[in-house]
Structure 1
Amino acid sequence: MARAEAACIRGYHRVTGLALGPYQSAVIRIGFAFTWLCFLLREWPYRRELYGPQGPFSFDMARQLTDGNHAFSVLVWWDSTAWFEVVYALAIASSALLMLGWRTRTMSVLFMIGVLSLQNRSIFLGDGGDNVIHLMATYLVLTRCGQVWSLDARRAAREAARRQVDGEPERAPRDMTGMVLWALAGASLFLAQLLTDDRLRLTADGPLPGLGWGAVLWGLWAVQGLWWLARRRPRGDLHGVLDALANLVHNAGLLVIMAEVCLIYATAGWYKIQGSRWQDGTALYYPLHLDYFSPWPALADLLAGSGVVVMLLSYGTVMVQVAFPFTVFNRRIKNVLIVVMMLEHIGIAILLGLPFFSLAMIAADAVFLPTGFLLWVGRRLGRIRGRLLPTAGGAPASAPEAGAG
């Protein structure tokens, strides 16, 4: 009984005292922000036809759809080309800044708004990877994804080093940039609440039962202000409570991301098993002969010309996807399957011409990468950066409070 109680206490302190998986959460932050940024930049010449007022899916159709499925999109607030351009530009900016880790708490919310707004404006666009980005953009808001490998972490580390040199007491800096950003976010939300014709509801029709998107966004804004007040007294009770809650939410969000990845692979694998083409091992033969999925026809013909290779790839895909959720607790087998799945997605990107789907899935798979490997990659990239920028210096980009963007 005493051992069980001690284990429960250790587990409680581990879950509330630490934001677990800092490098994994940083990798998925960088991966999904990079994927969405590249997609937006690639579609820049065609943005108005895909998501804007010049597209076949008109503004009235989009508004009728969102009224029916209660999806969130700021693009259905006003039928204006200027408004669309502002939203698209903000989506690009928030993706770039989230990837760099600048004010990650605020940028993760803006990143989510950009993803949901564009995807819910035209739901018939996408290749499967958009669904993964849609989900992960929401989950990233819950995580402290800027603890390492971010500008927030670098700023926090430099501030801590400066306080140590000057002998100052431990307290948060004034952070005028954060205060201005918080005030602008509040003012923008207030104006949107007044001018959106009751589309930013406080109750119902939101991500949670009984909570509309208006209540969720106002809640995130208020929590950010409360966190700023708590950081003024790092050793106070309020700071300790909020820090423990933030760790708890982060760990729960990371667990949900891991479960979501397992669910994606399990669902895909078990549905494939029920298909006759996957059962006889010929499933991959057909997409390789579709013009839409053949950016390299000669390479596709070479691969599809071997029945044995097609059969092995078809059966191997099903076996890996079905087996992966059952191997997450075995470190060695899990690491091998992660490599296999990433190679599979690279093959999909090259052979079938689906680069953004593959990037999204590789970013999702990265949540299971071992910390030792990520640290090794970080050191290698740091050496490369040092050679390219020999004059670059500064504190290491990691700190306990790095997520407090």
Structure 2
Amino acid sequence: MNRFALAVSTAIARVTETALGPYQSATIRIGFSATWLLFLLREFPHRQELYGPDGPWNWNLADQLVSLNGAFSALMWSDGQFWFGTVYVLAVLSSLLLLLGWHTRAMSVLFMVGVLSLQNRSIFMGDGGDNVLHLMCIYLVFTRCGQVWSLDERRARRTREARARGEHVVGRAGPALWAALGLVLVSAAFLDKLNGDWFVPALLWTLWLAQALWWAAGRFARSGQSRIMLDVVANIVHNGALLVIMAEACLIYATAGWYKIQGSRWQDGTAVYYPLHLESFSPWPALADLLSANGVMVMLVTYGTVAVQVAFPFTLFNRRVKNVLLAAMITEHAVIAVVLGLPFFSLAMIAADSVFLPTSFLRRLGGTAARTRARLWARSAPRGGPKRHGDPKRHGNQQRPRTPARPAPPTDPESVKIPD
């Protein structure tokens, strides 16, 4: 009984004191924002037909559908060309800034608003990956996804170093961004433009007020107890959201696999054979013909897909088997992106799969990326040091030795609480 109580107390302490999976949450942040950004940039010449006034699904039809299903879309606030262009550009900018990790709390909210606004405006646009992105953009709001691999992490590190030197650092971009978003939210509420069910408007108001409470606790609270309490709540919400993302990914694969078992098309191989000969899913006809001509290959792909999707949720209890199946699914999605011409569906699924990647692999990947970036910067930097204007010994001026700054205490990157 004592061991059980000790295990429970240890688990509670770990969930409340630490935002788990900092590398995994950063990976899904980068993956989903990059997927949506690349999609918006690729469809930029066709944006008017997909989501704008020139599309076959016009604004009146979308307004009728939104009024029936209660979906949220900022594009329903106006049917003008200027407003559509503004929302589209803001969706692109929020995706880019979330990818870079600049004020991830605010950018994750804007990212969610952009995804919901465009997808709910035209519900027939997408290839299956839009459904995954639609769900994950909501879950991503509740995660602390800027702990590593972000501009927020670099700003927090520089802030700690400045405070260790005794400097007073005050951030101005965060409060200015909060005030601007608050003005938009208040204006939309005053003009009765917050359409949809109660969930999204209530979520926007809650997040806006919570950010104000977070800033006030860190700025004006004399004792650190209030900030510690808010930090504990943020960790619990983050860990719960990360668990929901993992459960959602398992549910997607489990339902897909069991539905495939029930049908005959995945038993006789036609579910793989016929899509390879459809014009809409054959960007490389020669490659599709080569794969479909091999009956053994079609059989392996058919039964292998079903087996991996059904078995994956059960392999989470074994790390090695899970990593093997995870690599198989990522490879499968990469093949789908090339052979069937569904790159954004594959990118969305790979981003969802990355929540299960081992931390050691992600750390090595981040270290490799950092070394590669350092080498590129070293090659692009001008050769030769700065020019010296005179010799200090020649003029009798000796340089005084600088007092080294007191280094900040070492911290574990997984337990650092980063103010987004």
Normalising to structure 1: TM-score of the pair? 0.93
Aligned mates of 1:401, 1:372 — CA distance in 2:
18
Aligned-pair CA distance for 1:402: 5.7
Question: For the structure 1 residues 56 and 295, does the alpha-carbon distance in structure 2 shift closer, same or farther, using more than 3 Å as the test?
Answer: same
Contact 1:129 1:357 in 2 (8 A): yes
Aligned mates of 1:389, 1:190 — CA distance in 2:
44
For residues 245-293 of structure 1, the C-alpha deviation after alignment (integer angstroms, 9 at most, x for no partner) is 0000000000000000000000110011111111123321000000000
Aligned-pair CA distance for 1:5: 2.0
Contact 1:148 1:402 in 2 (8 A): no
Which residue in 2 is equivalent to 1:153? Answer: 153
Which residue in 2 is equivalent to 1:214? Answer: 201
Contact 1:33 1:96 in 2 (8 A): yes
Contact 1:261 1:364 in 2 (8 A): yes
Count of aligned pairs between the two proteins: 390
Aligned mates of 2:117, 2:51 — CA distance in 1:
9
2:213 paired with 1:226: yes
Contact 1:150 1:398 in 2 (8 A): no
Contact 1:154 1:397 in 2 (8 A): no
Which residue in 2 is equivalent to 1:65? Answer: 65
Q: Which amino acid aligns with 2:367?
A: R
Which residue in 2 is equivalent to 1:210? Answer: none
Residue 72 of structure 1 aligns to a residue in which SS? coil
Structure 1 residues 229-378: aligned runs within 5 Å: 229-232=216-219, 233=221, 236-378=224-366
Aligned-pair CA distance for 1:175: 1.1
Residue 54 of structure 2 aligns to a residue in which SS? coil
Structure 1 residues 87-126: aligned runs within 5 Å: 87-126=87-126
Aligned-pair CA distance for 1:308: 1.0
Contact 1:153 1:401 in 2 (8 A): no
Residue 260 of structure 2 aligns to a residue in which SS? helix
Q: Which moved more, 1:313-322 or 1:1-10?
A: 1-10
Which structure 1 segments of 5+ residues have no match? 208-212
Residue 316 of structure 2 aligns to a residue in which SS? coil
Aligned-pair CA distance for 1:397: 12
Aligned mates of 1:293, 1:200 — CA distance in 2:
36
Q: Which amino acid aligns with 2:205?
A: W
Question: For the structure 1 residues 386 and 3, does the alpha-carbon distance in structure 2 shift closer, same or farther, using more than 3 Å as the test?
Answer: same
Contact 2:21 2:414 in 1 (8 A): no
Contact 2:214 2:227 in 1 (8 A): yes
2:5 paired with 1:5: yes
**Identity across matched positions, percent:** 62
2:386 paired with 1:404: no
Residue 71 of structure 1 aligns to a residue in which SS? coil
Aligned mates of 1:388, 1:235 — CA distance in 2:
45
Aligned-pair CA distance for 1:335: 0.2
Aligned-pair CA distance for 1:174: 2.1
Q: Which amino acid aligns with 1:228?
A: W
Q: Which amino acid aligns with 1:340?
A: A
Q: Which amino acid aligns with 1:329?
A: F
Q: Which moved more, 1:74-83 or 1:98-107?
A: 74-83
The Cα RMSD (Å) is: 1.9
Question: For the structure 1 residues 260 and 328, does the alpha-carbon distance in structure 2 shift closer, same or farther, using more than 3 Å as the test?
Answer: same
Contact 2:315 2:321 in 1 (8 A): yes
Aligned mates of 1:261, 1:174 — CA distance in 2:
40
Which residue in 2 is equivalent to 1:75? Answer: 75
2:196 paired with 1:181: no
2:376 paired with 1:388: yes
Aligned-pair CA distance for 1:389: 1.0
Contact 2:147 2:153 in 1 (8 A): yes
